[in-house]
Amino acid sequence: MERNLKETLDGWEISLNRNIHMYTHALSVKNGVYKLNIDCEDLPTDVKTIGIWLYNLDVPDALKTELKDLLLKWTMQFEVTFKIYISRDGFVTNAHQ
């Protein structure tokens, strides 16, 4: 996985700059209406895993659901495991079972 990624998917521009400070990453998404910075960092796991926290966003729940689906689709191309948290304990993952 490259250090800096930028891609457009389903009308959203997704930008990930990895390791901006130790284990934290700069993840942002934007479309014609929204520009959002999303909390994102490495998780302390045995397998390389990056956590994305959507539940922290101050946006409508419908938009959080749209972003969950968008980011899950986007992460499927990577070998790194992503956990996209929709609540403190609930997440979806791109981990290939």
Residue pLDDT, tens place only, 16-53: 998 777 778 999 999 999 999 999 999 999 999 999 99
Identify the CA nearest to 72 among candidates 96, 48, 89: 96
> Residue-wise over 30-55: b if at least 16 C-beta within 10 A, else e?
eeeeeebebebbbeeeeeeebbbbbb
Sketch the domain layout of the chain as residue ranges.
4-93
- How far is Cα 29 from Cα 72, in angstroms, rounded to an integer? 13
Residue pLDDT, tens place only, 68-78: 999 999 999 99
Global pTM value:
0.91
Would you say residue 14 has pLDDT above 80? yes
Instruction: Determine the pLDDT at residue 88.
Output: 93
Contacts of 6 (CB under 8 A, 6+ apart): 13, 14, 15, 16
